[in-house]
Structure 1
Amino acid sequence: MTETPEALKGPLPEPVRQRVVALASDTLGELAADEVPSTLRPFARFAPGRRARLAATPLAAALESDIVFRQRVSERIRSAVPDLAEAVGHGQAPPAADPLDVAAAAFLLRPVGWAKIVDDVADHLEREALAQTSGAEAETVARLREQVSAARTEARADRDRLRGELASLKEENATLRKTLKQARDRASLAEKEAAKQAELAAEIRDQATSDSARADSELRRIRSRLTDVESSLETARRSAREGRDVASARLRLLMDTLVDAAQGLRRELALPPVTTRPADTVAAHSPASSGAAAAGPEDAASLETLLGLPQVHLVVDGYNVTKTAWPTLTLETQRSRLVTGLGGLAGRTGAEITCVFDGAKLDVTPAVAVPRGVRVRFSPAGVTADEVIRRLVAAEPPGRPVVVVSSDREVADGVRRAGARPVAATALVRALSH
């Protein structure tokens, strides 16, 4: 069927145009080089998809102006869909066919009435678009109504919430106002109290100033009185010192007379110097020497009075004292600590000191560091330390002061009958601890 000059009522619908351009692009890729229109040669080597996208306008123009190119594209439709091409060639539009394919075939084949076929397809597409648009608008309206309803519900909820918050804020505001009033009242009371305290502090400060002035005056009076008392005391001391000097001179003269008499008596009797003490004659074991020991602490005043007697002999019940003072230490440490303390005591008082330890059950006499001025003895086998102490007391001449340190009641009673002065072990412990 030959092409007849017809014209469309409007522009080619865009979907139909895209379908026609796609067919032209596929056909262009299959043409020989000499069959390609000159305007389309730059796009002949493009990929089909890229060619349909970039050369859409040149392809549409070539289809409109180049009848030979359009016929070649039409041949592709006849070979691809011959039934559709034959029906369109007779001016018919198959009802079951895709409207876009029908319009594209009518545009390319150009049978009699092809423009009407294309216009009918355009009207059909427009009605569908309008129907889709109306449906979309109805859906939009319904969606908007739902949104408005939801917005109104949310607004009512927000309004109720805001009303509740407003009521809460009003209540809180009332509470804050009340609290503020109470705080202001308390602040006012505090200011009044502070003013009262400031006045009281000023009064106290004035009173303190007055008292300080009186105290200074009293202090000056007392200092003056103290000066007078010190002057009187110095005068009294001077008088007492002068009197004491006279008494001391008389006592010194008497002592010198007694010493000279004693020396004369010693010369008259031809008495030898004392090299052996009575305590040295009592049978007991002496410890093995292990060197000198350091001095201990000061003695107590109560025991020092007795040790200040001339030619006093201090006898110590060793283990009775150490087990009173240091019961948790070993026997060796007890002995060492006691003997060391006695050495310091002998150095300060000049007294003769004998320390007796029980050695009745010992096979070998222990080694003890014996300081100067201290005699250490262990009782012999089968003899207790108590018996050695009684022998030491009995060996002393009548009239010599002997002090025995022991908390053993039997020992104390025995030495007291022999004329010695018993002293509790705690007295010596306190003396050694000072």
Structure 2
Amino acid sequence: MSTEAKPGDSPTTEELRETLMAAVEVARAGQKEKPPVEPPARLKQLLAFRKFPERALGQVREVVEADEEFRTRVVEALEESEVSRVGWLWLARPEGWEQERLALSEEAEREAELATEAQRLVDLEQGLHRAEAAQKKAERQRDKADRERDQAKSEAIQARADAHHAEEAAGELESQRDQAHAKLEAAEKNLERVQRREARTEAKLKNARTQIDRLNKELRDSRQQHDEEAGSLKQRLATAEERLAMAQDAGFELPLEDEPVFVPPPPPTHRTPAPLPPGLLKDTVDAAEHLFRTVPELVVLIDGYNVAFKSWTDLPVREQRVRLMQKLGELSSRYSGAEFVVVYDGTATDYDYIPTTARSLGVTERFSKPGVEADDVIIDLCDEYPLNRHIVVVSEDNRVRSGARDRGANLVHPRKLLEIMGLEVDDPQGWAGFEDR
């Protein structure tokens, strides 16, 4: 059964809210009487709620409309003033109550329309006030924008003037900067020239000092050798004079002319570089091949990594050593009178890798001890070989070359050895302009 009446037929449940709630209170009051008056069955279950549920008003309306006895009890328990006129008419239902209810409904609709119109007028007035306020605010903002625009124009004019002055000043500063930059470039170039001259002078001075030290050493060695030879001659002369006196005392006659007597040369006191033919420049490919080919029992000490790193830079270190030993084996077969010794930094943890050909041809490989550089091993080897054997040292390290030169060794640059072995140099720039120092 519908809880809502059609317009013009019956009031709505919302219009009857106050009357329906009054009916609920009448039912609750009846339960408290003695003896209690039982409410309708469909309403009894709703009275258990402490707070009456709004959704149950339709059910209350159905109970009141269906139960004439309960409706009569509610009418008797209420005063007309306790509920709305529409609710009382629906509840009491006097004669002609429907026409009166319709008249009240139409009047309520007119009042609602009037209230809606009044509210619309109020809203319009408020909207008008807001529009007028917004207009005034917009006018104030426009005036402020006009003032800011005028100020911006004034500032823009001043900024253009300042920019013009700044451009003039910047042009002058740029000109000064260019002049200063030119002076700086000239000063830097002059400094570079001075530094290059200083470096060349320092190199020449170092070379001169090295040559002076070498000459002083050679002079000391020559004086020592001269003194030793003079002492030997004096000793031999004294011995001869003594033998002559003894012979004369014994009555022997001396021949008119002495037979030539072979006097063995004194043992060398220091090593000297193997001589080169006139016109053959030292530390060249031709000079190195001449030494390898002609000097008997020649010892060639090679700075291993110093040579290997220049031709096989992209290979692992172990493979570089393999390649170098193979090439030295081929070189040893060409110059069988020379002894080739390669010195590396570190310990030979993989000695067995040495190519059999290189080992059988007499190419020796040595490794420095922990904490000792290969440079020191090469310099010390120069002192270990007999002084009558010539030594060639292959290295580009200045300390090794200087130490070897002081010990009477010939010097060959690694680039020359690589050329003799038919190899290309991976880093020719690193040797550009190399001089024997």
Sort the TM-score into its range (normalised by shorter chain): 0.3 to 0.5
Question: Which structure shows the bigger proportion of residues in helix conformation?
Answer: 1
Name which one, 1 or 2, has greater alpha-carbon Rg: 1
TM-score w.r.t. structure 2 length?
Answer: 0.38
